[in-house]
Amino acid sequence: MKSLAVQRWPGPTPTPQDGIFAILIDTSGAPSPPGAASTPAPRGANAFPTPASGTGPQRDDARRQIRLAAREALAVVLRMPATDITVASAPGTPPHILLAGVKSRIGISLSHDDGYALAAINLHGPIGADIMRVQDIPDWQAVARDYLGPAIAAALQNTTNRPLAFTQAWTQREAALKCHAQQLSEWQAELTGSTISLILPAANLAGHIHIGDKTA
């Protein structure tokens, strides 16, 4: 599997491919904190060392929305009540799914950007996911060199659509880090596993998922 079509939610029952599916919800209607801007702030170069996870009522509400949507979608796939499904997480480990309070092998990864939230689910194990709005990043050369590695930095010099290529490379790296439960840090090495590009039903978004050592 080289790519995966992401489904808007609510919608039809997801059809897992090799045990994997992903849903996207629109969180732009989430209430904003007093005094907040009406449009999301861009993830510029200064934001990349600390990914735009954000805090505050709007971000918290988006997290609640996507966790609820993930439980609903998974409940339909597994044919069980959503109330029996819990999205659990602990420091240093990727999120995972509890079924009726019992830990399962099902992995889940969540990502938010530009008024959207994504949930990617792997019925067979850990998964990492990241989405990002395509944009022109100031000082992209330094960011790519420090966080994406010399090969990607060199490739970006010659691409015809650098904003898209950078976003794709960034989300690929973030997805791999999430799958391996690692924090963003300066470039060290490639991470094991398989990367799958996402076909997103929203303009100007790009993203990837990453699974373990199984060949996709």
Parent domain of 119: 3-42+51-211
Res 143: pLDDT: 95
Distance CA 43, CA 118 (A): 17
The total number of structural domains in the chain stands at 1
Residue 189 counted as domain residue = yes
- Is the predicted pLDDT of residue 119 greater than 80, yes or no? yes
Predicted pLDDT at 18 = 96
Quick check: is 109 in a domain? yes
Is residue 29 included in any domain, yes or no? yes
**Over the stretch 101-115, which tens digit does the pLDDT of each residue have?**
999 999 999 999 989
Is residue 130 in a domain? yes
For the chain, give the mean pLDDT. 86
In a domain, 91, yes or no: yes
pLDDT (mean) for 77-93: 91
In-domain check, residue 176:
yes
pLDDT score for 8: 97
Q: Is residue 135 part of a domain?
A: yes
The answer to whether residue 216 sits within a structural domain is no
Q: Could you report the per-residue pLDDT of 131-188, keeping only the tens digit for each?
A: 999 999 889 999 999 999 999 999 999 899 999 999 999 999 999 999 998 988 888 8
Q: Which of 47-61, 117-131, 169-183, 193-207 has the lowest mean pLDDT?
A: 47-61
212 or 150, higher pLDDT? 150
